Amino acid sequence: MPRNPWFDPDKSHHTRTGFRNPPGSPKRAAITAEVAREAAHFMGELLRLAGNNPFPEDHALSEIDALGCYEKQGNNKLLWLGHASFLIQLDGITFLTDPYLTDYASPVPTPGTKRLFPSAISIEKLPQVDCILVSHNHYDHLDTKALKLLARRFPDAQVCVPLGLIPLLRGQGFRNVVEMDWYEQWLGNQYSITGLPAIHMSRRGLLDMNKTLWCGFAIECGDYRVFFAGDTAYGPVFREVGARCKPFDLGLVPIGAYQPRTLMSSVHTTPEEAVQIGADINARQLVGMHWGTIRLTTEPMLEPRDRFLAVNSELPRRVMKIGETLALS
């Protein structure tokens, strides 16, 4: 089998052929007849629910309103573009996370992989982007069509990715791409990016499972720190992150795509687990993401929001409308 060129025997998430989740992480369900039946039922439900959009009209702002609200805020702000895509501006430096900004989260367009709402701001009208963060190679986080367009607009943007993704990102046209392992830091001009552990997996084709790494990120700019979880399940590694990192002013945590648990518990958090991640990493406030944009799983589409806000925790948290801007202080 192909050798992992980054293999370090002292790192538990490295294997000789790729990568794996940290110790104590939930395991993928073993393939049994019962699990196979549940998977078949799951796919049938996704097809049945494709295109169903239960959201109120004000769930997403118009592009004009989104741009207007963003421009009215100061130099520290957060705009949700949908799913796991945010514009984060700190001290006038703009970061873009997991830019899935086109219509489909799949190599072949199908009804079940189409966004229910477009990106809050089209690529042509995005403000200047200084740094792009890509957490892993799944199609709803690494959107090559969007990245090609972003590279044309912002060819000198700094791009930060986990191990193994430099060729794919440079292939879209970016000049400045750095890849990092967990807890590795990249120092930019007036800011730093640190790769952090996540519990997930990587795959874009039939033969590349876990050949590239997956991660979250810490963004530090001035005296403000943001935790971006990427895509993750829950496990004890987040207590480790909290012990190794300084507290975060803001945590961006995934709250959707969690049902059925038999299939999803090893890759996606529940809303309650997302709040626990925030507590583990010592975040001062949380914003929910990875919901309300595309139907990836079978839970009711508004349930992630309701469960996230209903958690019995003193940790401040909120959800945003697509296109909404939140002032950061």
* Token pair belonging to 76: 């520290």
Q: Where are the alpha helices (DSSP H) in the chain?
A: 33-49, 63-72, 144-153, 166-170, 237-244, 261-264, 271-280, 303-310
Q: How many domains does the chain have?
A: 1
Distances (CA, A) of 199 to 118, 259, 315: 28, 17, 22
Instruction: Give SS3 for 88.
Output: strand
Q: What is the pLDDT of residues 264-300, one digit of tens each?
A: 999 999 999 999 999 999 999 999 999 999 999 999 9
Region 301-316: mean pLDDT is 98
pLDDT value of residue 50: 80
Q: Please report the pLDDT score of residue 265 as a whole number.
A: 96
Q: Would you state the pLDDT for residue 291?
A: 98
Q: Residue 57: count other Cβ atoms within 10 Å of its Cβ.
A: 5
Per the domain annotation, does 45 fall within a domain?
no
Q: What is the mean pLDDT of residues 44-49?
A: 87
Q: What are phi and psi of 162, to 5 degrees?
A: -75, 170
Q: Given this model, what pLDDT does residue 88 score?
A: 99
Torsion of CA 200, 205, 206, 210, to 10 degrees: -30
Asked if residue 136 lies in contact with residue 162, where contact means CB atoms within 8 angstroms, the answer is yes
189 close to 207: Cβ distance less than 8 angstroms:
no
| CA 137, chain centre distance (Å) | 11
**Residue 112: other Cβ atoms inside 10 A:** 17
Residues sharing a CB contact under 8 Å with residue 11, sequence separation 6 or more, in sequence order: 181, 182
What pTM does this model have? 0.96
pLDDT at 46: 86
**Residue 72 pLDDT > 70:** yes
pLDDT of residue 29: 85
Neighbours of 107 (CB within 10 A): 11
Match 């700019």 to its residue by tokens. Answer: 221
In percent, how much of the chain has pLDDT > 70? 99
Q: What confidence score (pLDDT) does residue 142 get?
A: 97
Give me the residue label for tokens 């293999």. 7
Q: What is the mean pLDDT of residues 190-202?
A: 98
Which has more pLDDT, 32 or 164? 164
| Confidence at residue 111, expressed as pLDDT on a 0 to 100 scale | 62
Specify the long-range contacts of residues 39-42, CB closer than 8 Å, at least 24 apart: 39/263, 42/260, 42/263, 42/297, 42/298
Can you tell me the mean pLDDT for 123-128?
Answer: 98
For residue 261, what is the domain's CATH number? Answer: 3.60.15.10
Q: Which of 150, 142, 156 is nearest to 213 (CA)?
A: 142
Predicted pLDDT of residue 52: 82
The pLDDT, as a whole number, for residue 270 is 99
Report the pLDDT value the prediction gives residue 106, as an integer from 0 to 100.
82
144 pLDDT exceeds 60? yes
Residue 2 above 80 pLDDT?
Answer: no
pLDDT at residue 313, rounded to an integer: 96
What is the distance between the alpha carbons of residues 183 and 312, in angstroms, rounded to a whole number? 31
Percentage of the chain exceeding pLDDT 90: 87
Mean pLDDT, range 194-212, rounded to an integer: 97
- How much is the average pLDDT of 25-35? 89
Mean pLDDT of 221-242: 98
In a domain, 21, yes or no: no
Provide the residue range defining the domain that includes 282.
Answer: 55-327
Instruction: Give the position of tokens 């929001």.
Output: 305
| Pick from 35-44, 95-104, 151-160: least confident | 35-44
CA angle 176, 177, 183 (to 5 degrees): 130
Would strands 131-133 and 93-97 be described as parallel, antiparallel, or unpaired?
Answer: parallel
Q: Looking at residue 329, what is its pLDDT?
A: 84
44 domain-assigned: no
DSSP classification of residue 125 = G
- And the tokens for 108? 């072949």
> Is the predicted pLDDT of residue 146 greater than 70, yes or no?
yes
pLDDT > 60? residue 1: no
* Nearest-angstrom CA–CA distance, 168 and 203: 13
